[in-house]
Structures are given as structure tokens and as C-alpha cells.
Structure 1
Amino acid sequence: MKNVLILGASGGIGAALTAACKARGDVVTGLSRSGDGFDITDDASVAQHLASLSAPFDLIIVATGALEINGAVPEKSIRNVTAQAMLDQFELNAVGPALVLSHAARLLPRDRPSVFAVLSARVGSIGDNKIGGWISYRSAKAAVNQVVRTASIELARTHPQSVCVALHPGTVQTAFTEKYLGRHPSVPASEAAHNLLRVVDGLSAAQTGRFFDWAGKEVAW
């Protein structure tokens, strides 16, 4: 049995992760904007909500994120970039997880293994980018990958048994991806949750600071 914290617990993947963890007997704490007023993009909200938790947690998953924000769809070309759309993507998909990670040392145990996982996306891989497009979303996910990598180095100094990773859940059948499901193979949120937990359960401290997909295969930065 693990003490688990899921941020973004009301979303498609977040809710599925919550259900999967509870089904296997974990004690789960969930926070979301709709259910708790947890705004991952706001410093004060993050600090207030995380300070109220009874830490430490054996597993923390940041499952927040969005592909479309305020009606802005992924760009087909660099010519379609707007400042506001890009800033919105960075605020939610990169700044938010960074704010949570700034509290990671207090939230994780020092004397036993733990995992801090941030849901990223394969399109955030610079090395894997072969077709272009989706500039703002790609860039925000590439940024959060760097946040995870940097935080893992710092966290290992005080929490040597910790694992801090970015995870690609695959294309999941949620409202998040509904308009794009025809382009890629997809899985139900419940299946994605079990895949992610299987990867998490197999991680060791030697793998901290890396980027893995739903099958446990490492993704290029």
C-alpha cells in the first residue's frame, strides 16, 4: 500500500489513475481545479494546497495539462503561432509542474524509495520530431521535460532513493484528445492508467531524470 498524490485528479487520466490506485489498495489524495480550487498555474494556490497535505507521499503524479486552451488549437505551422496561445501552453504545461516540483522535497520521503512523475508527451521530444507543427504544445512539453530533468538532479542530492521522471501516456481516449483520435492508435483512460502504474512500479533510482513512454521504453529528449 502506497500513499499517493494525484494532481489533476478530475481529468480523464487523473481520474483513471485515482481509480486504479484505490483499486489496488493505495491511499489516494487527489487535487483538481474543479473539485478543490487547485490552480496549478498560480503560485499561491499551489503553495496553499500543498502545504495543507499530510506528506510524505510514495508516489506523486502530475496529471494536469491541455492540448487546447481558450479555443486555440495546435498550430499546423510556425506561421500560425500567437504569443498568447504559446504563453497559455507554457503556463499550464510547464510552469505548473515546475511550481509543484518546487515543493517536492517536502512532499517526498527521504528514507525510502519514491516516485514523482509528470505526464509529458512524445511530441515534446526534440529528437523524435520529424514532421513539425504543434509549436506551442511541443515547446511547452519540451520545457517541462527540462524541468523534470533539472529537478531530478537537485532532488537526488537530498532524496537519493527518489525517482523523478517524465511519462508519455500514449494517445488516451479522453475529452483532451477527442478531436485527434483518428490520427493515432488510442487506448481507454483506464488502460492508460494501468500502463503508467506498471512503468512507475518498475522504476529505480538509477532511472531518475529520464523520459519514458507507457510501455517503459525511453523516449529521446
Structure 2
Amino acid sequence: MPQVRSLAVVVGAGGGIGGALVRRLAAQDRYDAVVGVARRRPKDWPHDPAFAFVGADVTDEAQVSAAASTIDELGSPVRIVVATGLLHADGVTPEKSLRALDPEALITLFRVNAVAPALIAKHLLPLTPRDRISLFAALSARVGSISDNRLGGWHGYRASKAALNMLIATLAIEHRRSRKMGICVALHPGTVETRLSAPFQQGAAAVPKRLTPDQSAAALIEVMDRLGPEHTGRFFAWDGQPIPW
């Protein structure tokens, strides 16, 4: 029987951090292929058999299911990183007070930041191997920590990331029942110079140290490489420090 190909999958490969993660994971030379998932194929996507691209809108379960079927044909994902997220868009902006809450904006934030990663986990985690370590990581945000919330504001973004954190903690419990060596974690990528954070780097979520996408990706991979099954269901920052839920 031929050996199953080992895959690293980056969902959100078209974003700043996602693209950097693809390049960094490929440079590790630990996987038979790196698979990128995004709505549109990046213009600079390599024309190389070691790089596979799967188009999908990850807020649409039918498309996530189809993407999972394609990935399953390519091999077995041993590392899955969900690098999608939404902070602002047309009609969506971080709220400074409760008066600014908009139900449609809240639904959009939850659909992208919590529902989409949950759908990805639902369809991709069953493809991970049972006989070796695998890792599923979703990019969350420190502002999604309930116990670390000292400034308030940004209600919808905070709440949607807190929902993602709970989903990670919960699915880690279920996943471990069938895959003892499976790891599921939430990761805070730091304040990164991307389109997502650019308009708000001076705002409530800004921190003194800002990272380029490549710096964040390198740090996140270093953190992931150090994790073992005993770390499943936890939340870590880009510098490896645990973050309270």
C-alpha cells in the first residue's frame, strides 16, 4: 500500500499572515505538499506540485465540504492552520460603545470569526491521522480573552473571538477521544501589519510591538512546533505565552 501523503493546510492563504504561513511551512520541507484554501487563488501562488490550491468560501458549508473532499484526495492533513478573520468591512467596524452595536454586523463577525473555523474543523479534523501527531490551530485574538478584557469596547469582535475560543476548547475534547495525539489550539498572532489591523493600529487593540506577517508566521510556527498533545484545548500567544480564556 502506498504511503499517504503528509499535508499542511492553510485556510486563508490569500491573507497576509496566511500567505506567510504557506511560505514558511513549505520552507520547513516536512510536508509532501502545502495546501492553500481561499476564495481566490493568490496571483503569486507557486506553479509547483508541492503547492496545491483549493478555492472555497469557508462561510459556506457546501464549499467547505467540497474543499475537504479535494484535500482528502491529496493526502492526510497533519497541520491545519485557520488564518481567516474579520475586524472591519463595509458596515462592520469595531464599536466604541454599546450604542454602536448593529445586529447585522454582529452576525457577520460571528459568521467569519467563529462559524467558519467551526465548519473547517467539522470537515477537516476527520481527515487527520489517528496514528501520529496532528495539529489544528485557529488564529484568535488576545481581545477575545474574557478574563484579559480590561478596556471594553470592540464588542462584536471580542465576542466572536471568544466564541471561537470556546469552540476550540470544546472540539479539542471531542477530537481527543478519537485521536489521542491530536492537538487543537487557538493562537494569537500579535498585532500584525495587515489589511485587517491597518486602520486600527493606534486603537484599543494596539500593542507596542508590531510584527510583519512573516515575523508573525515564523513565531507562530515556532510555537506550534513546540506543542504536544498535552497542550490541546489551550490558547497561546505568538511568543509562546499562554493566554487565559
Q: Which deviates more, 150-159 or 175-184?
A: 175-184
Q: From the two aligned structures, give the one with the greater helix fraction.
A: 1
Match of 1:40 in 2: 58
Match of 1:135 among 155, 161, 169: 155
Tell me what 1:175 maps to.
195
Identify the match of residue 10 of structure 2 among 6, 16, 37: 6
Alignment of 1:41-80 (within 5 A): 41-53=59-71, 54-80=74-100
Kindly report which structure 2 residues correspond to 1:80-91, keeping only aligned pairs within 5 A, or say none.
80-91=100-111
| 1:151-162 pair list within 5 angstroms | 151-162=171-182
Where 1:47 maps in the other structure, the secondary structure is: helix
Quote the offset at 1:3 in angstroms: 2.2
- Do the aligned partners of 1:56 and 1:106 also contact (CA within 8 Å) in 2? no
8 Å CA contact retained: 1:105, 1:159 = no
Query: Would the aligned equivalents of 1:69 and 1:88 in 2 still touch at CA under 8 Å?
Result: no
> Residues of 1 paired with 2:125 and 2:62: CA distance?
18
- Normalised by the size of structure 2, how large is the TM-score? 0.87
Alignment: residue pair count: 221
TM-score of the aligned structures, taking structure 1 as reference length: 0.96
**Paired position in structure 1 for 2:20:** 16
Deviations 1:170-204 (A, max 9, x none): 00011111112234331100000000000000001
Segments of 5+ residues of structure 1 without an aligned counterpart are none
Counterpart CA distance in 2 for 1:58 and 1:48 is: 19
Give the partner amino acid of 1:5.
Answer: V
**TM-fit CA distance, 1:71:** 3.7
Q: Which is greater in Rg? A: 2
Structure-2 separation of matches of 1:105 and 1:120: 18
CA offsets, 1:140-189, max 9 Å, x none?
00000011111100000000001000000000011111112234331100
CA distance in 2, matches of 1:131, 1:2: 43
Q: Secondary structure at the match of 2:183?
A: strand
Aligned match for 1:124, one of 141, 144, 147: 144
**Bigger shift: residues 53-62 or 5-14:** 53-62
RMSD: 1.4
Structure 1: 4+ residue segments shifted above 6 A = none
Structure 1 residues 79-134: Cα deviation after superposition (integer angstroms, max 9, x where no partner): 21000000000000000000011123322110000110000000000000001000
Aligned to 2:222: 198
Instruction: In structure 1, give the amino acid aligned to 2:24.
Output: A
Once the two structures are TM-superposed, the CA of residue 30 in structure 1 deviates from its matched residue by 0.5
Residue of structure 2 in register with 1:146 after alignment = 166
Q: Distance in 2 between matches of 1:124 and 1:202?
A: 23
Task: Name the SS of the counterpart of 1:28 in structure 2.
Answer: strand
Residue 2 of structure 1 deviates from its aligned partner by 5.6
1:30 to 32, 36, 60: 36
